[in-house]
Amino acid sequence: MLSQRILKINPSITVDLTDKLERLQRVGVDIIKLNIGEPDFETPQNIIDAAKKALDNGYTRYTAVSGSLDLREAICRKLIKDNNLKYTHDEIIVTTGAKQALVNTLMTLCNQGDEVILITPCWVSYIEMIKLSEAVPVIVELDSNQDFKLDIDKIKKVITKRTKAILINTPNNPTGAVYKRDELNELGKLAVNNNFYIISDEIYEKLVYDGAKHHSIASLSDEIKQRTITVNGFSKTYAMTGWRLGYAAGNKKIIRAMNNLQGHMTSGANSIAQKAAIEALLGSQDQVSMMVEEYQKRRMYLLNRLNNIDGLDCNDTKGAFYLMPNISKFYGKTLRGRYIKDSMGFADFLLEEAQVAVVPGIAFHAPNTIRIAYCNSLENIKKGIDKIERILNENTNI
């Protein structure tokens, strides 16, 4: 009865986890949620005020499918200032979240059977988005022993005549890795020489720490820019997850085609959110700096605590708001009478025995890990890690 297309799509493990949490909370269990990839901060007041003003001024009608001209121009200003990327307003599409920008891009570029290279560990939705576009995901697994460095040689090995695109995400969810300029440059050249596109998800671009620098791959040369669709959004940097606003920048022909698709699916994004987004981009960035400082404090604290727990081993990755400790030393052990077989078993163990929620690495194609999000208060992170430490220290034979 259901389409083949939808039957191929797997439900998200993170959504299943949310259901499990709700059931536990309903029976009164107090859970520390270090699983959620959503800023705990409120949207900055100047952005909220801009939305209120938009409503009071009756800015409540359809906008252009590709987004209001004012917002697209603000995005062009931002791209030149922050990313050294020169685009005109007709090379930008505003979307309902970065999610829609990604789906639009894949749907616009891919034919059935095309291959899209996917770097893992990766965000849960990418594989399913690629499958939705009827392309085939081709996985390249990065090595945690090398700080999840972008491995160009591994990528070279999977390029075929059917390779249509590569999907990258820097700073990275779930690893926190920030790709280096020379790695991106090599990848860009590979795409140019082998004639495939780069879809670059840069939604965590502002969340970098310890002097790490984000580089937009499209800024590295004109040839690379021609082959790149840069995706970004407002959810993470401006704590605007519920406003559902993102965008893509790229070659005019591709953006026009995405516009055509979006025109028949959802039309322009929410008009009020678009007005607020102009303020986000052009107004004061003080709140963003405050949030980044706070995330850095939490990151340092969490990293230090994780690496002081016997059996855990965590990379010092410098971006987004996630850390991804390796937990495989616990596999095959029995903790509180439970045999720990894999990351799912380990995450269940933490949830049920320590009341701390984390995401099993298997959700991100990283089976030896868990993902811990530090977009939660330092107080909650402390409580959570205390509980994790206590329960793991019960096992003395690691």
Ligand X SMILES: Cc1ncc(COP(=O)(O)O)c(C=O)c1O
In the complex, which residues of this chain contact ligand X (CB under 6 A)? 37, 97-99, 123, 169, 173, 201, 203, 233, 235, 241, 246
CB of 179 within 8 A of CB of 200? no
Residue tagged 């990275």 (tokens): 172
Nearest in space to 323 (alpha carbons), one of 363, 380, 367, 369: 369
- Cβ 169 to ligand X shortest distance, Å: 5
Pick the closer one to ligand X by CB: 216 or 328: 216
**Phi and psi, residue 339, nearest 5°:** -85, 120
Q: Which is nearer to ligand X, 176 or 233 (CB)?
A: 233
Measured from the CB atom, the residue of 280 and 340 that comes closer to ligand X is 280
Contact yes or no for 285/296 (Cβ under 8 A): no
Pick the closer one to ligand X by CB: 36 or 64.
36
Nearer to ligand X, 240 or 392 (CB): 240
Neighbours of 108 (CB within 10 A): 22
Conformational region of residue 58, where left means phi above 0, alpha means psi within -120 to 50, and beta covers everything else? left
Q: Which residue is nearest to ligand X (CB)?
A: 97
- DSSP codes joined into one string, 194-246: HT-EEEEE-TTTT-B-TT-----GGGS-HHHHHTEEEEEESTTTTT-GGG--E
Question: What's the CA gap between 3 and 347, in Å, rounded?
Answer: 33
Q: How far is the CB of 6 from ligand X (least distance, A)?
A: 20
Could you tell me which residues come within 8 angstroms of residue 146 by beta carbon, excluding any fewer than 6 positions away? Answer: none
Which is nearer to ligand X, 241 or 266 (by Cβ)? 241
Toward ligand X, which CB reaches closer, 214 or 305? 214
- Taking the complex as a whole, how short is the minimal distance between the CB of residue 363 and ligand X, in angstroms? 12
Shortest distance, position 176 Cβ to ligand X, whole Å: 11
Q: How far is the CB of 106 from ligand X (least distance, A)?
A: 13
CA–CA gap between residue 131 and residue 237 (Å, rounded)? 28
Nearer to ligand X, 39 or 188 (CB): 39
Minimum CB distance to ligand X, residue 299 (Å): 16
Nearest distance in Å: CB 122, ligand X = 8
Please report how close the Cβ of residue 235 comes to ligand X at its closest, in angstroms: 3
Helices (H) and strands (E) in the chain, counts: 14, 14
Q: Is 360 helix (H, G, I), strand (E, B) or coil?
A: strand
Retrieve residue 276's tokens.
């607020």
